[in-house]
């Protein structure tokens, strides 16, 4: 049974059954069975057909009533079953991660497209025949374990590669830069971001005084502030999110030659975000929105995929850049070093149990393998201490022995003892060098060697000179945004600062932002009651390396050619017409997820007498949980929908959030009732026009006019076969022009949002 179908108010439909059948089929075919899966099997138990025992294996006859002296008590301490059960329960929780406490993980495989032996001897990056098992944990940074998924925050994107030369962890974020340059400031940064210590408010928010107080006192945060105030920090899903290793690392080849490298992850489904009002509402409608999406897509066999990219450059090239590649507040623009996509990660298995896998996974940027090395980036250097220390605290000294952390290659060394040690190692030797065990475990000449780097200079706390440019790349980021994205940065910052009580801090943000853009700072001042800057700040922009980098903009980079994973609500009431089935089939055939939404949790008959089983009732869901809405026609079907405020809200809110709305035949009446600004619904007229699209609203030609961002349409019954072909054609070729309603609807969904509609959407009350 899928996770979603277990939720109250969520019904199990034929579509869901089909999805889990696919998943079972994949499992039966052995897709995703890796060395790590086989290893984990040794520790995995199922309860089917078993009988209850204590942890000591003693069979249990009574578990619901404790042992008492007489029926009316008191309870006896000799009830070992009660004592053990209670004592274990009392210790079920371990310290949550001090940052990135809320996370969600999955297993998968990494496959390499091209051999990088010119640069590295790491087998994971040189052997294209290998399928390296991986575990990924996505996370938010600030919130506690129980916080909501869609808060504005950086997302962790941490991958453990179980290579045959040991574990390599790429512990990155969905943003390629960081707030600070030196790890010594990390505790201060985190203290400022977390809930304030006196009252532990607010939860999972940077919108409060202490955060903005701190970041306005450290100008190196400016670049990252632009990123976190952008829509990158409210991703649509983990499947629509980039990942970055952030730091510059080194690749070292078999000859001992080193190159610098930056790591990137690119989601195959494209990068996409929520809009802010939607993100806020999802926090209430489904706090598990991101984890549920990941879980369900894997259960459905629609495996999330990410391509691994590298930017490789030598030290001389690095020296020619106007910024320092050891500074984690800087990117290396793609225009200077293009990203080469060298492999793909596919997430194909959900965990069997959250705690032993996702909670106990111990990720650490210090876990590297021969052929990969660190750079001298002071932020990275500090991380190398913090993570092991953190794992000792959370999981104890033998955390590497936990099943999820075990490498898939042999492990032999002279570490011994410590709490909860598992390995039993024969013999009396636990030191090196030794002769009593013939020198074993012996040193391996092919083993890890640190790359030799000449070091000169004076012992000092000073930063390198190149770390002093705090604004040129912040400007590069801002200037690379579309107007829509610039407005979102302004709105997000204005929102956050309205939650800051200190006028002095608000003013400092305006002054800091003036180093990025005069207009942005002036508008911000206007919004938050601060003084506007007197004049633009004079900044030497050459430090950025390039003037503009379109790839930094999500809107400019979105490949508009897939609806995979997009959720479409099809509203149905008794008597709905056949367009619902046509659209349902077309969405599913294009890899989208169609769901029937009805008034009641019982089968809904269509105009021909057959029925569909609703997936959701309208009162138990909300438009924010879908990417598009479709309203079929049907003479009797639409009238009750127009009289139910929940359905009217479903359409109005989808419009506000710039989503595609489709309506066929009488279905346009629900759009009329929602009073969509800028949308004029003409009278019913069976004209030959196949559809009208305007601003993401698509309809049968005769019903809608001047509808920004939507589709309304009339769908000929029995036309599914032809429509299916058209749908795949418009998705394969982004320039293909839709000729029918369904392909226009699907193509509009693939665009994700209709940004042109935003000025009108502001007018809608939803």
Q: Which is nearest to 270 in space by CA: 654, 482, 551, 629?
A: 551
Q: Could you tell me if 543 and 469 are in contact, meaning their C-beta atoms sit under 8 angstroms apart? A: yes
Nearer to ligand HDD, 122 or 363 (CB): 363
Q: What are phi and psi of 628, to 5 degrees?
A: -160, 160
Question: Of 304-312, 387-395, 551-559, 752-760, which segment contacts ligand HDD by CB under 6 A?
Answer: 387-395
User: Which one of residues 383, 475, 657, 673 is an interface residue with ligand HDD (CB under 6 A)?
Assistant: 383
Nearer to ligand HDD, 263 or 630 (CB): 263
Q: By CB under 6 A, how many residues form the interface with ligand HDD?
A: 26
Question: Of 126-134, 170-178, 525-533, 597-605, which segment contacts ligand HDD by CB under 6 A?
Answer: 170-178
Site of tokens 């050619």: 561
Determine if 703 is a binding residue for ligand HDD (CB under 6 A). Answer: no
Question: Of 384-392, 420-428, 440-448, 480-488, which segment contacts ligand HDD by CB under 6 A?
Answer: 384-392
Determine if 672 is a binding residue for ligand HDD (CB under 6 A). Answer: no
Q: Closest distance between ligand HDD and the C-beta of residue 379, in Å? A: 5
Which contiguous run of DSSP H or E holds residue 642?
helix 638-642
Widest Cα–Cα separation across the chain = 95
Question: Of 171-179, 602-610, 631-639, 708-716, which segment contacts ligand HDD by CB under 6 A?
Answer: 171-179
- Residue 210 tokens, joined: 């202490």
Binding mask 118-137 for ligand HDD (x = CB under 6 A): -------------------x
Nearer to ligand HDD, 110 or 249 (CB): 249
User: Which one of residues 23, 163, 167, 173 is an interface residue with ligand HDD (CB under 6 A)?
Assistant: 173
Determine if 662 is a binding residue for ligand HDD (CB under 6 A). Answer: no
Kindly write down the DSSP assignment for every residue of 346-362, as one continuous string. Answer: EEEE--S-HIIIIIT--
Q: Closest distance between ligand HDD and the C-beta of residue 195, in Å? A: 17
Determine if 382 is a binding residue for ligand HDD (CB under 6 A). Answer: yes
Q: Could you tell me if 727 and 589 are in contact, meaning their C-beta atoms sit under 8 angstroms apart? A: yes
Determine if 395 is a binding residue for ligand HDD (CB under 6 A). Answer: no
Of 349-378, which residues contact ligand HDD (CB under 6 A)?
A: 363
Nearer to ligand HDD, 103 or 632 (CB): 103
Q: Closest distance between ligand HDD and the C-beta of residue 500, in Å? A: 24
Q: Closest distance between ligand HDD and the C-beta of residue 105, in Å? A: 7
- Residue 719 tokens, joined: 């036309």
* Rounded Cα distance, 761 and 288, in Å: 27
- CA 339 from centre of chain: 21
- Residue 558 tokens, joined: 């979105």
Site of tokens 């004076």: 458
Q: Could you tell me if 116 and 126 are in contact, meaning their C-beta atoms sit under 8 angstroms apart? A: yes
Binding mask 452-471 for ligand HDD (x = CB under 6 A): --------------------
Site of tokens 């009580």: 501
Judged on CB neighbours under 10 Å (0-12, 13-18, 19+), 384 is: middle
Query: Which of helix, strand or coil describes residue 151?
Result: coil
* Rounded Cα distance, 387 and 384, in Å: 6
Determine if 97 is a binding residue for ligand HDD (CB under 6 A). Answer: yes
Determine if 298 is a binding residue for ligand HDD (CB under 6 A). Answer: no
Residues recognised as catalytic: 100, 173
Report the Cα–Cα distance between both ends of the chain, in Å, rounded: 34
Determine if 172 is a binding residue for ligand HDD (CB under 6 A). Answer: yes
Q: Could you tell me if 294 and 104 are in contact, meaning their C-beta atoms sit under 8 angstroms apart? A: yes
Determine if 192 is a binding residue for ligand HDD (CB under 6 A). Answer: no
Q: Closest distance between ligand HDD and the C-beta of residue 665, in Å? A: 49
List, in sequence order, every residue forming a beta bridge with 311; answer none if it has no partner.
262
Q: Closest distance between ligand HDD and the C-beta of residue 210, in Å? A: 18
Nearer to ligand HDD, 100 or 622 (CB): 100
Q: Could you tell me if 282 and 625 are in contact, meaning their C-beta atoms sit under 8 angstroms apart? A: yes
Determine if 630 is a binding residue for ligand HDD (CB under 6 A). Answer: no
Kindly write down the DSSP assignment for every residue of 37-79, as one continuous string. Answer: HHHHHTT----TT---B-TT--B-S-SSS--BSSTT-PBPTT-
User: Which one of residues 10, 11, 99, 509 is an interface residue with ligand HDD (CB under 6 A)?
Assistant: 99
Site of tokens 């709105």: 491
Q: How many residues appear in the chain?
A: 766
Annotated binding site for heme: 387
Determine if 103 is a binding residue for ligand HDD (CB under 6 A). Answer: yes
Q: Closest distance between ligand HDD and the C-beta of residue 332, in Å? A: 15
* Rounded Cα distance, 169 and 407, in Å: 11
Of 234-293, which residues contact ligand HDD (CB under 6 A)?
A: 246-247
Nearer to ligand HDD, 232 or 656 (CB): 232
Residue-wise burial string across 656-672, b where 16 or more C-beta atoms lie within 10 A, e elsewhere? bbbbbbbbbbbbbbbbb
* Rounded Cα distance, 556 and 88, in Å: 53
DSSP 454: -
Q: Closest distance between ligand HDD and the C-beta of residue 98, in Å? A: 5
Kindly write down the DSSP assignment for every residue of 325-394, as one continuous string. Answer: TT-TT----TTTSPPEEEEEEEEEE--S-HIIIIIT----TT---TTEE----HHHHHHHHHHHHHHHHH
Determine if 158 is a binding residue for ligand HDD (CB under 6 A). Answer: yes
Q: Closest distance between ligand HDD and the C-beta of residue 136, in Å? A: 9
Q: Closest distance between ligand HDD and the C-beta of residue 357, in Å? A: 12
* Rounded Cα distance, 281 and 292, in Å: 16
Q: Closest distance between ligand HDD and the C-beta of residue 132, in Å? A: 19
Question: Of 58-66, 98-106, 409-417, 604-612, which segment contacts ligand HDD by CB under 6 A?
Answer: 98-106
Determine if 178 is a binding residue for ligand HDD (CB under 6 A). Answer: yes
Determine if 100 is a binding residue for ligand HDD (CB under 6 A). Answer: yes
Of 311-330, which residues contact ligand HDD (CB under 6 A)?
A: 328
Question: Of 95-103, 214-222, 314-322, 368-376, which segment contacts ligand HDD by CB under 6 A?
Answer: 95-103
* Rounded Cα distance, 611 and 603, in Å: 6
DSSP H helices, 546-603, are 554-557, 579-589
Of 561-580, which residues contact ligand HDD (CB under 6 A)?
A: none
Site of tokens 């000729």: 739
Q: Where are the beta strands (DSSP E) in 579-720?
A: 593-598, 604-605, 611-612, 616-617, 628-631, 660-664, 680-681, 691-699, 704-705, 710-713
Determine if 179 is a binding residue for ligand HDD (CB under 6 A). Answer: no
Nearer to ligand HDD, 372 or 692 (CB): 372
Q: How far is CA 107 from CA 85, 121, 348, 415, 728, in A?
A: 31, 25, 6, 28, 30
Nearer to ligand HDD, 86 or 94 (CB): 94
567-571 and 680-681 beta bridge pairing: unpaired
- The count of C-alpha atoms lying within 13 angstroms of the C-alpha of 37, restricted to the half-sphere facing its C-beta, is 19
Q: Closest distance between ligand HDD and the C-beta of residue 187, in Å? A: 8
Q: Could you tell me if 492 and 563 are in contact, meaning their C-beta atoms sit under 8 angstroms apart? A: no
Determine if 171 is a binding residue for ligand HDD (CB under 6 A). Answer: yes
Question: Of 63-71, 168-176, 272-280, 728-736, which segment contacts ligand HDD by CB under 6 A?
Answer: 168-176
Residue number with the smallest Cβ distance to ligand HDD: 156
Question: Of 12-20, 381-389, 685-693, 722-730, which segment contacts ligand HDD by CB under 6 A?
Answer: 381-389
Determine if 656 is a binding residue for ligand HDD (CB under 6 A). Answer: no
Determine if 495 is a binding residue for ligand HDD (CB under 6 A). Answer: no
Determine if 139 is a binding residue for ligand HDD (CB under 6 A). Answer: yes
- Give me the residues that bind ligand HDD (CB under 6 A), please: 97-100, 103, 137, 139, 156, 158, 171-173, 178, 183, 186, 246-247, 328, 363, 379, 382-383, 386-387, 390-391
């Amino acid at each position: 049974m899928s996770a979603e179908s277990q939720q109250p108010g969520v019904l199990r439909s034929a579509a869901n059954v089909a999805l889990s059948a696919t998943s079972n089929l994949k499992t039966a075919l052995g897709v995703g069975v890796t060395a790590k899966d086989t290893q984990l099997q040794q520790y995995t138990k199922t309860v089917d057909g078993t009988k209850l025992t204590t942890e000591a294996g003693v069979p249990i006859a009574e578990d619901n009533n404790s042992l008492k002296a007489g029926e009316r008590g008191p309870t006896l301490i000799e009830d070992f079953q009660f004592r053990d059960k209670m004592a274990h329960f009392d210790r079920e929780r371990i310290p949550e991660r001090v940052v990135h406490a809320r996370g969600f993980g999955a297993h998968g495989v990494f496959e390499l497209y091209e051999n990088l032996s010119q640069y590295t001897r790491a087998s994971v990056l040189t052997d294209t025949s290998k399928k390296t098992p991986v575990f990924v944990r996505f996370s938010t940074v600030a919130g506690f374990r129980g916080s909501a998924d869609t808060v504005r925050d950086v997302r962790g994107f941490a991958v453990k590669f179980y290579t045959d030369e040991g574990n390599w962890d790429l512990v990155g974020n969905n943003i390629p830069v960081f707030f600070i340059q030196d790890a010594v400031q990390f505790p201060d940064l985190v203290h400022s971001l977390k809930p304030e210590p006196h009252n532990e408010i607010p939860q999972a928010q940077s919108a409060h005084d202490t955060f903005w107080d701190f970041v306005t006192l450290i100008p190196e945060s400016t670049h990252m502030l632009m990123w976190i105030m952008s829509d990158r920090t409210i991703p649509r899903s983990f499947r629509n999110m980039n990942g970055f290793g952030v730091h510059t690392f080194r690749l070292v080849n078999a000859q001992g030659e080193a190159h610098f490298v930056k790591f990137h992850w690119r989601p195959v489904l494209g990068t996409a975000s929520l809009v802010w009002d939607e993100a806020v509402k999802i926090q209430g409608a489904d706090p598990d929105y991101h984890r549920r999406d990941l879980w369900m897509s894997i259960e459905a066999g629609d495996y999330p995929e990410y391509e691994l990219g590298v930017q490789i450059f030598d030290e001389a090239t690095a020296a020619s850049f106007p910024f320092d590649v050891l500074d984690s507040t800087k990117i290396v623009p793609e225009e200077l070093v293009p990203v080469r996509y060298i492999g793909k990660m596919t997430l194909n298995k959900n965990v069997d149990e959250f705690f032993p896998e996702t909670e106990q996974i111990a990720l650490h940027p210090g876990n590297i393998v021969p052929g990969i090395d660190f750079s001298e980036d002071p932020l990275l250097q500090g991380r190398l201490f913090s993570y092991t220390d953190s794992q000792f605290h959370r999981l104890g000294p033998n955390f590497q022995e936990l099943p999820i952390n075990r490498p898939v290659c042999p492990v032999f060394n002279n570490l011994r003892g410590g709490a909860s040690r598992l390995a039993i190692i024969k013999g009396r030797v636990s030191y090196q060098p030794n002769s009593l065990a013939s020198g074993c475990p012996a040193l391996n000449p092919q083993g890890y060697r640190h790359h030799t780097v000449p070091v000169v200079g004076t012992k000092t706390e000073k930063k390198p000179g190149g770390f002093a440019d705090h604004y040129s790349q912040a400007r590069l980021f801002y200037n690379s945004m579309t107007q829509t994205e610039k407005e979102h940065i302004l709105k997000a910052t204005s929102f956050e600062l309205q939650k800051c009580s200190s006028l002095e801090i608000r003013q400092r943000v305006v002054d800091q932002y003036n180093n990025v853009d005069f207009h942005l700072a002036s508008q911000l001042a206007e919004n938050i009651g601060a003084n506007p800057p007197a004049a633009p700040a004079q900044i030497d922009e050459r430090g950025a390396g390039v003037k503009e980098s379109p790839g930094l903009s999500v809107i400019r980079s979105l490949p508009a050619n897939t609806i995979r994973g997009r959720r479409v609500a099809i509203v149905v009431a008794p008597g709905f017409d056949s367009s619902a089935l046509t659209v349902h089939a077309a969405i599913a055939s294009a890899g989208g997820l169609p769901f029937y939404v009805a008034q009641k949790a019982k089968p809904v008959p269509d105009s021909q007498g057959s029925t569909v089983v609703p997936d959701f009732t309208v009162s138990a869901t909300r438009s924010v949980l879908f990417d598009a809405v479709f309203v079929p026609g049907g003479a009797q079907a639409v009238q009750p929908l127009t009289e139910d405020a929940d359905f009217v809200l479903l359409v109005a809110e989808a419009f506000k959030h710039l989503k595609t709305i489709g309506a066929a035949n009488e279905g346009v009446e629900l759009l009329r009732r929602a009073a969509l600004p800028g949308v004029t619904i003409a009278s019913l007229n069976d004209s030959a026009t196949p559809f009208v699209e305007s601003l993401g609203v698509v309809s049968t030609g005769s019903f809608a006019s001047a509808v920004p961002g939507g589709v309304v349409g009339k769908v000929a019954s029995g036309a599914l076969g032809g429509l299916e072909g058209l749908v795949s054609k418009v998705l394969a070729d982004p320039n293909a022009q839709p000729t029918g309603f369904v392909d226009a609807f699907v193509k509009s969904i693939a665009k994700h949002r209709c940004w042109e509609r935003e000025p009108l959407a502001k007018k809608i009350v939803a």
